[in-house]
Chains A and B, each alone.
Chain A
Amino acid sequence: MHDSGTPVDAAPDMDVRESIRGYIKDNIASLGEDGLRDDDNIFEKGFVTSMFAMQLLAHIESAFDVEVPDEHLNLHRFSSVERMAEMVSELRAVRRE
């Protein structure tokens, strides 16, 4: 299983994407022939159900040492690798301010 226990605080955005992508791949039985693209809506494509959102939330908070605030808690924010990476980037920027 993908290691979610080590915060990758200093990881650049590409590494954040790689980490999220890896976590999703580890938690999907089969991606089909097309694989997982960063802009794929993981819920609409049927890779995961909305129940997986909570797991993604736990992964993001522990792997990137951020706290996802209430206003970010909607499925849209968690619907693709791209959107989750953007969210992590925003949260880190807020923390640095």
Chain B
Amino acid sequence: MAAPPRHSTMLSISNAGTSQSTGTDRTQVPQSSSPAQTSGLRVPSNRKTIYDRHLNRSRNAELSRASFAYLFGEMVTYAQRRVTGIQDLEKRKDTPSASVCSTYSSTAPPPPPPPLSPAPPPPRLPPNRPLRILSLLHLIHGPLWRLLFQRAADALEHSVSAETPNEYMITDNDPLVNTYISVPREMSMLNCAAFVAGIIEGVCDGCGFEAKVSAHNQPTEMWPSRTVFLVRFGESVMEREKVLERAGVK
């Protein structure tokens, strides 16, 4: 996505709030009270809004694993239903969901749901922005995994091939979503891990590390649902990595 022209967009937004006040009064109008920008959302009188809720309140809260499984199952079924039949896809080309559908279709059912990704987990994670690939991956392997699954991932590896220096692997021997979710038979177990891959990809992108993440079932005798998440960083990330390396940024 191209960045919008910096200056012009800025002006258009803020003008909306203050246009009525220009001209007559020479002194500054307190824009903080300018009504035009505010929304029409109603809030309960007891102030039960998202802003009144402590951010870490649910950090350690738990819910039933079964509930997650049910919701997840419905999400998977829904995603699958949305793309049954080429005509169906064709029909939806012009709707806002077209882009989602194309994602769905290219990866086969079901997709990693993108909306999860922008929700930033950062405040519960260490209060630093990762600058280098490794610190980002450690963030995912450790704190993020613990946040989601109450334990760290099992392994973090770098591709040994000189041709693919941009590939990293995060391994989970026994991923939650594969263990507890039963999905229709015709869908491989792999697809549930795609959900987690989507979350990882979202975190990478969100932190400014453009990446493609895919999930691969690589069972061992001991761990039948062992899953490897392959993280492939984009060209721009690798370029920046080199620059930062030279600059000595950690």
Instruction: Decide whether A and B are members of one complex.
Output: no
